[in-house]
Amino acid sequence: MTSQHRTKAWSSLALVAFVVVAAGGAFLLGKRQAEGPNEQVAPPARGLPATPDYHSLYVDAANTRHLLLGTHVGMYESRDGGITWKTGSLGGQDAMNIVRTPDGRLWVAGHNVLSRSDDNGRTWSDVRPDGLPNLDLHGFASDQRGCLFAAATGDGLYMSTDRGETFSEVSDEVGGSVYGLSALDGGRLLAADPGRGVLLSDDDGKTWRVALSAPVIRLGAHSNVVLATGERIWRSENGGEEWKAGFEPGTTFEPVAWSTSEPGVAFAITPETRTLYRSDDAGNTWAPVR
Q: Which helix (H) or strand (E) holds 107?
A: strand 106-111
Tell me the pairing of strands 54-59 and 189-193.
unpaired
Strand partners, 97: 109
Question: Tell me, what CATH number does 116's domain have?
Answer: 2.130.10.10
CB 235, CB 243: distance < 8 Å: yes
34 has pLDDT over 70: no
What tens digit of pLDDT does each residue of 79-133 get? 999 999 999 999 999 999 999 999 999 999 999 999 999 999 999 999 999 999 9
Backbone angles phi, psi at 141, to 5 degrees: -155, 160
Q: How confident is the model at residue 37 (pLDDT cuts 50, 70, 90)?
A: low
What is the number of structural domains in the chain? Answer: 1
> H helices within the chain, ranges in order?
3-35
Domain that holds residue 59: 3-288
- What mean pLDDT is reported for the chain? 89
Q: Which residues pair with 266 in a beta bridge?
A: 258, 279
- Residue pair 84/45 in contact (Cβ under 8 Å)? The answer is yes
- CA–CA separation, 282 vs 266, rounded Å? 7
Confidence label for 52 from pLDDT (cuts 50, 70 and 90): confident
Q: How confident is the model at residue 36 (pLDDT cuts 50, 70, 90)?
A: low
Out of 20-34, 104-118, 163-177, 268-282, which region has the weakest mean confidence (pLDDT)? 20-34
The 10s digit of each residue's pLDDT in 118-129 is: 999 999 999 999
pLDDT of residue 68: 98
